[in-house]
A and B are shown apart, each in its own frame.
Chain A
Amino acid sequence: MSHDAIRRQVVGRGIPLPGTDIDTDRIIPARFLKTVTFEGLEEHVFEDDRLQVPDHPFNHGLYRGATVLLVGQNFGCGSSREHAPEALRRWGIRGIVGESFGEIFFGNCTALGMPCLAVAAEDLEWLMKSTAQHPDREILVDVENREVRVAERIIPAMIPEDHRNQLLTGTWNATVVLLEAGEEIERVAKSLPYVTGY
């Protein structure tokens, strides 16, 4: 595996985005999916929310350059569009810390080498407040040790072992790993009843 692909930790400033059940339609509205590439999606990240809420964190110059996104429960639920994590990544986000995540979104983030870690509600509340008060403060998202570190505080975090493994070994591009099975794929295919005409 390429050494560059290893994701032990993400370090950077945070951007707090309160709210629960923020779906992928809100992260990137469907009209921006009318494209055959992912280019330029960062310009439209949260576009409708940003227009309706002038105070939206993604409108603040204060948070420009942030790399760690802080979110609430069930972030990224809904549509499977990888345009959502791509829009965030292209905006500059490299890791997400939240209470919980939509399952497909979570997998899509890992597939882009962007770790999502879950923390307890009260820790998240503190993280959001502390980041709003000290936007310049660095947050360390530690995939290896399953924790988030800010100033002196160490917050325990959760990431499923399989995703953690993929990030730590740089094997989150699953195509490369799946190809290694070689002819074993054809062997399994030939054992399946519908492949052999039942």
Chain B
Amino acid sequence: MAETLLDKVWRAHTVRMLPSGQTQLFISLHLIHEVTSPQAFQMIREANLKVRFPERTFATIDHIVPTASQLRPFGDVLAEEMTVHLVRSCKEFGIHFFDLDSGWQGIVHVIGPELGLTQPGITIACGDSHTSTHGALGALAFGIGTSQVRDVLATQCLALAKPKIRQIRVEGRLTRGVYAKDVILAIIQRLGVKGGAGYAYEYAGPVVEAMSMEERLTICNMSIEGGARLGYVNPDATTFNYLRGRPFAPQGEAFDRAVACWKSMRTESGASFDDVVILDGGSIQPVVTWGINPGQSVEVNERIPDPADAPETERTAWAEALAFMSFEPGQRIGGTRIDVAFIGSCTNARLSDLRAAAEVARGRKVAKGVRALVVPGSQAVAKAAEAEGLHEIFEKAGFAWRNAGCSLCLGMNEDKLKGREVCASSSNRNFKGRQGSPTGRTLLMSPAMVAAAAIAGEVTDVRKVLR
């Protein structure tokens, strides 16, 4: 029977079936950061365990690092303490740590692929829900909790139930001004924030096949926002070309052998799925969220919906979202005044994202009263962007150009919203309080749309600027 990538990778990594009915799955690559690992290391110490395969775990700091000045010790004593802890644990257990002076520090989901650690046909785990990002290269990548970080440290395995698969085919071609971010927001709008529970999403179809690796990373990144713990794209020439020459990718002849192996990992034609969803890529428009979960969104030229028109189960949630956001039903999302513009996060802080935003920002000025910042996803992204002068375009336009980190995506560092500020954000979550102010308001959109909003001072259709 024709198999999917999920079937093949799952089988190859199965150690045994557990009495609970779960599979004991070998994890190829474990990524850790400072927030969800310290307690796991402590559990390992208390249980007198070893790290079973220290060479398969890699660490960096991203959530709590300040993005303005990264001089140690950090001004924030708690951030400094977490960093010291991680450095100490890595030393103690022999784990490779990409420190601030390594040139490779960055958001864990940005550096995995760019280092070539993320490869097709492998299994990945990280104590972070956006681990789904790595599926873009054809890996099975699981976001896990701290107890499971302990499991992986101690055994290099996880106890998991095999998910169902939904293939999401995006047909046709995207139009100008529509980006990967709009595609994933459109998918979540269609299937809902809980539609993916129990599923892995296999993204396919001409739009996905035509995408660069960085665009695929954006799509897979937000699988979790659709409720799917993992998402993946079948590896192809785009994947192999992306990986060639990266520091941790196989080199020389080993690379050619690897490509042959990776090609065999693809979902075979005729494989069956538990569900198939088809979207027309050509009809996707720039998307903006209006609510407090990533499924509450409209096209940029649409009006904010009326809870009275909501499906009955969603009515209260829509009303709650409108009240929190101070939006009226029927109001146009375009023209919404913004206070902050944020280009960054594991969703949209790669070189191509910064290029798309710079295309909009070039020769223009950030509107008066808008605080705008660009936070590259990694030191490598920052270096590449600076080499082509993107930082100058942003700085001339009035954006702050920062150091790599999670920044304003989640309010664990100095970058935070204040009070009821409205933020046009290229990140992934518009949850209440997500950006560091309990009453702060987030509008999710593509990086180019954020740049356009920064310049207009309000939500605007980026296609008007690009024309």
Contacts and interface: CB of A to CB of B under 8 A. Distances in A.
Interface in A102-131: 102-104, 107-108, 111-112, 121
Given A82-B127, A193-B258, 11 more contacts: A81-B145, A85-B145, A162-B22, A162-B161, A165-B21, A174-B159, A177-B24, A188-B13, A188-B14, A188-B26, A189-B156
Interface residues of A, number: 63
B102 interface: no
A34 B84 CA distance: 13
Interface string B294-338: 000000000000000000011011001000000000000000000
A26 interface: yes
Nearest to B123: A192
A30 B411 contact: yes
Contacts of A189: 26, 53, 156
29 contacts: A19-B316, A21-B292, A25-B431, A26-B433, A30-B436, A33-B63, A33-B412, A34-B82, A34-B412, A36-B85, A37-B42, A52-B438, A78-B224, A78-B429, A78-B431, A80-B145, A82-B147, A102-B227, A104-B229, A162-B161, A166-B20, A171-B20, A174-B148, A175-B154, A179-B154, A181-B157, A189-B53, A194-B258, A198-B257
B154 A178 contact: yes
Closest 4 A/B residue pairs (Cβ): A108-B145, A111-B147, A48-B438, A82-B145
Nearest to B35: A33
A63 interface: no
B193 A178 contact: no
Contact of A174 (B21, B147, B161): B147
Interface string B180-211: 00000000000001100110000000000000
Contacts of A121: 313
Contacts of A162: 20-22, 161
A174 B151 contact: yes
B96 to A, nearest CB: 17
Contacts, number: 213
B155 A179 contact: yes
B194 A198 contact: no
B278 to A, nearest CB: 24
B28 A25 contact: no
Interface string B149-179: 0110011111101000000000000000000
Contacts of B145: 80-82, 85, 104, 107-108, 111
Interface string B37-72: 011001100010100110000000001100000000
Nearest to B253: A198
A36 B36 contact: no
Contacts of B43: 175
Interface string B228-261: 0100000000000000000000100010011001
A171 B151 CA distance: 13
B363 interface: no
Given A30-B412, A165-B21, A166-B20, A19 B320 contact: yes
Nearest to B434: A25
B466 interface: no
Interface of A: 19-21, 23, 25-26, 29-31, 33-38, 48-49, 51-52, 73-74, 77-83, 85, 100, 102-104, 107-108, 111-112, 121, 160-163, 165-166, 169, 171, 173-175, 177-179, 181, 184-185, 188-189, 191-194, 197-198
A174 B22 CA distance: 11
B128 A165 contact: no
A73 B313 CA distance: 9
Contacts of A85: 145
B412 to A, nearest CB: 5
B446 interface: no
A29 B433 contact: yes
A71 to B, nearest CB: 13
A3 B121 CA distance: 40
B230 to A, nearest CB: 10
